[in-house]
Amino acid sequence: MKYKSFDEVERVYSKLYREEKYKETLEILENIKILMSEDEIKRNYYNIMIDKARSLFRCNLHDEALDIIDSLINSGYMCPLWKFSPLNNNPRYKDLKAKNDLLRRAAEKEEELKYKVYVPQGYVKEKQYPLFISLHGDGEDAEYHNRFWEPEFLLKRGFVVVVPQSSQRIAHNSYVWNIKELYFQYEMEENTCDIEYFEMYSSMREELKRCYDSISKEYSIDHEKIIIGGFSGGAHAAIDMALSDRIPIKGAILLCSQKPTSFTVESAKNAAEKHIKWVFMEGEKDAPVQDVEEMIETLNNFGGSCNYIINHGVGHWYPEDLENKLDKALGFILN
């Protein structure tokens, strides 16, 4: 079978990978040349190769996985070595980490938050529009996030949509909202990680505030209808921003979230007093999620308004019916 795009192939093998069917995943990736056009392979070379390395690693083919990582790093691609952290005692891993760290330090010099704005059809300056801030997951970039949490879902409902991309790059086409050290520490030979909750990087709030201020000047925004949402690390960041008072958030839609360090009894009480509405979504395969249930309980104790949606047939991932779930979530927040 010949696929029209890499997106189609990736959806197939990513589903297998999440189901821990690593041999089947690897079989697809090893036959990629007969499944896609040469142009598609060239455009998506890094993603194909890093996913192949991860599949080889899961199949205990460690030398073959390190061969691919070696080739990628020597070609200038910063790699997510923490995903191969059980190999951190391997001499080859240590050598690759040293080279990867050089790429990482070079990338840090170019770090800045970027964003793209989408406006609904027929947009006019004379009318005010609700704003949706859509945050990618940790390890993703904005473009990848848009493939699942499509701006079109929200544009059809009259929103101006902004999709920021974190300034914190941790690998090729891979950015995070949590502090980078959460990931890098797993690359260390002696990992003593005991982090329970997640902390956002120090400049995140001000970067997103500047993004919001810039959009407010350029576009006609209804500042009483500002909603923030995100997946995974983006959900952590959305919670943090809703609690921070930097932006007048009306509601937050949180897909596969955990509790950030900024979520405290005091900040939850303040959010309830501001009548911020919350929609939590979790995959059926992950539920119950203790962090989520604790946040909901704390918010409810102060009279907060929360909705909890379970996505059936999925774990820590975007549900296939996300558009319908967003429709319900927006109705809950705006009504």
Q: CATH 3.40.50.1820 residue ranges in the chain?
A: 114-334
For residue 94, pLDDT beyond 70? yes
pTM of the predicted model over 0.75 = yes
How does pLDDT run across 281-314, given as a tens digit for each residue? 999 999 999 999 999 999 999 999 999 999 999 9
- Enter the tokens of residue 166: 């974190």
pLDDT recorded at residue 119 = 99
Residues of the chain with CATH 1.25.40: 6-108
Query: By CB neighbour count within 10 A (0-12 exposed, 13-18 middle, 19+ buried), where does 128 fall?
Result: middle
114-334 CATH, one of 3.40.50.1370, 3.90.1720.10, 1.10.287.3610, 3.40.50.1820: 3.40.50.1820
CB of 205 closer than 8 Å to CB of 232: no
- Residue 113 amino acid letter: L
CA separation for the pair 257, 187 (Å, rounded)? 24
- Scanning the structure block, which residue is given the tokens 């975007």? 318
**pLDDT single digits (tens) 231-272:** 999 999 999 999 999 999 999 999 999 999 999 999 999 999
For the chain, the average pLDDT equals: 94
Class of domain 6-108: mainly alpha
Closest C-alpha to 243, from 270, 278, 273: 270
Contact, 142 vs 136, CB < 8 A?
Answer: yes
| Mean pLDDT, residues 97-119 taken together | 93
Tokens of 109: 């010099």
Q: What is the pLDDT of residues 168-219, one digit of tens each?
A: 999 999 999 998 877 777 666 554 445 445 788 999 999 999 999 999 999 9
3-state secondary structure of 294: helix
Assign 3-state DSSP to the chain and report helix, strand, coil percentages, each to 5.
Answer: 50, 20, 35
